[in-house]
Amino acid sequence: ANNDVVVSGIRPTGVPHLGNLRGALQQWVDLQEKYPCFYFIADWHALFGLEERSREIKENTKKVLATLLAVGLDPEKSTIFIQSQVPEHLTLFTIFSAITPVGWLERNPTLKDMVRAEEPLPYGLLGYPVLQAADILLYKGTMVPVGKDQQPHLEISREIARRFNSLFGVEFFPEPQAVLNEYPVLPGTDGRKMSKSYSNVISIEDDHETVRFKVRQMITDPQKIRKSDPGHPDICSVFQLEKGFVDSAYSKDIYDRCVQGLLGCVEHKNMLADIIWQYLEPIREKYFYYLEHEEELWKIASYGNEKAEKVAKETMREVLDIIGL
């Protein structure tokens, strides 16, 4: 539609990895050609998660920002900013906190994991879907690129938008919809989902030798001993990881050669390492450029922060007017 606005954030909780690049950021880059896009580094969310000490949040913010630019996000086409530098996120979060029943948050499916992981559960972490709603609705976001794991949170954003509109008798906030990613969830080097919590990632900082080494360590097909044995690509994480970087024709060709015993695992791993490196090398080069030119990096951030703040201030002016504060 004409009023479509894309909003998405990424938490600065570590060095970005291939899962983040293919699973999230590639889609961000594609969307910036068609829609107004607001992309932010979610440092408040990192703080609420308590996974990081705040010193690391700043360091990781720098790395994630460098990554956003390295993958091709354009500060002119997209509004790229740092959440904590636009204080209106917290103002709207507070207003939404006033109208969000605790029961909605207790229904959050990831709450069980959070209760287990955090001892004790911080109040802010319970409320993070409310902050997420504020993050999106501050820019009247209608489209939210999310990973498949994140859809339930967006339902709370829609409920909050509906509740605000009905409580105050306005058609003010849109109901944001998920935009699903075409890329599969990438496995890490141990076969589980690639995630920094599992230490199984290939990161944007890895050099060619490291990429080769990590791919070589991957488990392919435990039943395949000789090259001529038929392989089982469906359970092979080398094959699954490769899918994130090649087209379906390529993937099908590999599949056929593998099940016919025409492609050995060692050869396949070398091919995958090359494919990944071809993708990663230019991105990694730009990434290190920005880390080495910090002043330029922070200048780009300030530019985005100001662009975001303009829109955020306008929304908050309207919101305060609607609720009569």
Which residues make up the interface to ligand ADP (CB under 6 A)?
A: 10-11, 13, 19-20, 23-24, 147, 149, 185-186, 193-197
CB of 63 to ligand ADP, least distance (A): 12
Residue number with CB closer to ligand ADP (110 or 270) = 110
Is residue 323 within 8 Å of 103, Cβ to Cβ? no
CB of 20 to ligand ADP, least distance (A): 4
Residue number with CB closer to ligand ADP (100 or 203) = 203
Residue number with CB closer to ligand ADP (12 or 264) = 12
Is residue 138 within 8 Å of 89, Cβ to Cβ? yes
Q: Which residues fall within 8 angstroms of residue 184, CB to CB, at 6 or more apart? A: 240, 243, 244
Residue number with CB closer to ligand ADP (142 or 189) = 189
Q: Which residues fall within 8 angstroms of residue 119, CB to CB, at 6 or more apart? A: none
The DSSP 8-state label assigned to residue 47 in this structure reads: H
Q: How far apart are CA 242 and CA 22, in angstroms?
A: 11
Is residue 145 within 8 Å of 81, Cβ to Cβ? no
Q: How far apart are CA 167 and CA 140, in angstroms?
A: 18
CB of 30 to ligand ADP, least distance (A): 14
Is residue 157 within 8 Å of 174, Cβ to Cβ? no
CB of 19 to ligand ADP, least distance (A): 3
Q: Tokens 């906190």, residue?
A: 97
CB of 216 to ligand ADP, least distance (A): 20
Query: How many C-beta atoms lie closer than 10 Å to residue 248's C-beta?
Result: 9
Residue number with CB closer to ligand ADP (11 or 62) = 11
Residue number with CB closer to ligand ADP (205 or 309) = 205
**Using CA atoms in the order 84, 318, 93, 61, what is the torsion angle rounded to 10 degrees?**
-20
Give the Å distances, CA to CA, from 282 to 135, 208, 238, 241, 274: 31, 12, 22, 19, 13
CB of 178 to ligand ADP, least distance (A): 11
Residue number with CB closer to ligand ADP (148 or 162) = 148
Alpha-carbon 135 to chain mean position: 14
Residue number with CB closer to ligand ADP (129 or 264) = 129
CB of 107 to ligand ADP, least distance (A): 21
CB of 10 to ligand ADP, least distance (A): 5
Alpha-carbon 264 to chain mean position: 34
Q: Which residues fall within 8 angstroms of residue 78, CB to CB, at 6 or more apart? A: 28, 32, 37, 38, 39
CB of 175 to ligand ADP, least distance (A): 20
Residue number with CB closer to ligand ADP (196 or 227) = 196
Phi-psi region of 282 (alpha: psi -120 to 50; beta: other; left: phi over 0): alpha
